[in-house]
Amino acid sequence: METRAASEAFTALGHEGRLSVFRLLMRHAPQGVRAGEIAEVLGLKPNTASVYLKALEQAGLIGARRDGRTVYYAVDLTRTAGLVDYFLADCCRGRPDLCAPAIAAAINPRQESASVSKRVFNVLFICSGNSARSIFAEAILSELGQGKFIAYSAGTREKSELNPYAIDVLQRNGHDVSALHAKNVDVFRGPGAPTFDFVFTVCDLAAHEECGAWPGQPMTAHWGMPDPVKAEGSPSEKGLAFARAYAELNRRIAAFVALPLASLQRIALQHRLDDLGHEVQA
């Protein structure tokens, strides 16, 4: 990246409002977010959000994609990577150990273990309420990933409880629900908490949350999908929405379990995890 282009990008990010928009989009990357949703989450007036988005787009940091009458904004990851490369190559003289030792260590390929296939991976699924989708994911992975994965789930809300429709779907699919209960994500932070290898958000509200980095730099992805709790209609129609959510997560998690973790490099694995999120929303 040339100095002028880098200067324009840094200038765009030098405003608190524009930076908050960029950070929100990064939490959803590589997927996009609707302009109206961006304004709502950040508490911005629609015209203010539009100004911020236009400035970021002009700086080449984000791009827009139209789907029918809806416009989605997403981070231009290639451009953003170029900005990081510029900073490290120019300002840090090509020495990441000077500028970002923690990040350099986290992505160092020499940390890849030859015995990764023998490891047991800790996986956390996060939703807003931990009442259905994340609970589904925990139960499914606990069954499909026995001996290879340990599944956990949590919600970002302070209080929640399992949805009766979710319990019914789990029981009809043969899951033992006796040990399942709604938890807040804070129980997995601090001393004694497991170190996670993977952290997935399964609802947009959870992805919107500005959460601190997890210890150990786990791989993350957003697998957003419709909230069955919001389904309307008769009890059978609501039950069908929960069954569909369960089926979609079952397909994604089965594909995740089947990934050749021992042979995939970190970047390639991240692309596969992101692809699963796209498939969920398709």
**pLDDT tens by residue, 6-19:** 888 999 999 999 99
- Tokens for 115, please give them: 């015995």
Q: Assess whether pLDDT exceeds 90 at residue 139.
A: yes
- Tell me whether strands 121-127 and 198-201 are parallel, antiparallel or unpaired: parallel
**pLDDT tens by residue, 29-83:** 888 888 888 998 888 999 999 999 999 999 999 999 988 888 899 999 888 888 8
Give pLDDT, residue 96: 57
State the burial class of residue 127 (Cβ atoms within 10 Å of its Cβ: 0-12, 13-18, 19+): buried
Angle in degrees, 0-180, between the axes of helices 16-28 and 46-58, rounded to the nearest 10:
80
With pLDDT > 90 as the criterion, what percentage of the chain qualifies? 46
Domains present along the chain, CATH in parentheses: 3-106 (1.10.10.10), 111-281 (3.40.50.2300)
Nearest CA to 227 out of 158, 136, 142 is that of: 136
Give pLDDT, residue 108: 41
Rounded distance between C-alpha atoms, residue 236 and residue 239, angstroms:
5
Give pLDDT, residue 100: 53
The answer to whether residues 44 and 61 touch, using CB atoms and an 8 Å cutoff, is no
If pLDDT is split at 50, 70 and 90, which confidence band does 159 have? confident
Give pLDDT, residue 35: 87
Give pLDDT, residue 261: 86
Give pLDDT, residue 41: 85
Q: Coil, strand, or helix at residue 147?
A: coil
Give pLDDT, residue 107: 42
Give pLDDT, residue 87: 76
Q: Assess whether pLDDT exceeds 80 at residue 187.
A: yes
**pLDDT tens by residue, 219-257:** 988 898 889 988 999 999 999 999 999 999 999 999 999
Give pLDDT, residue 51: 94
Answer with the residue of higher pLDDT: 112 or 209.
209
**pLDDT tens by residue, 86-121:** 777 777 666 555 665 444 444 444 344 434 556 899
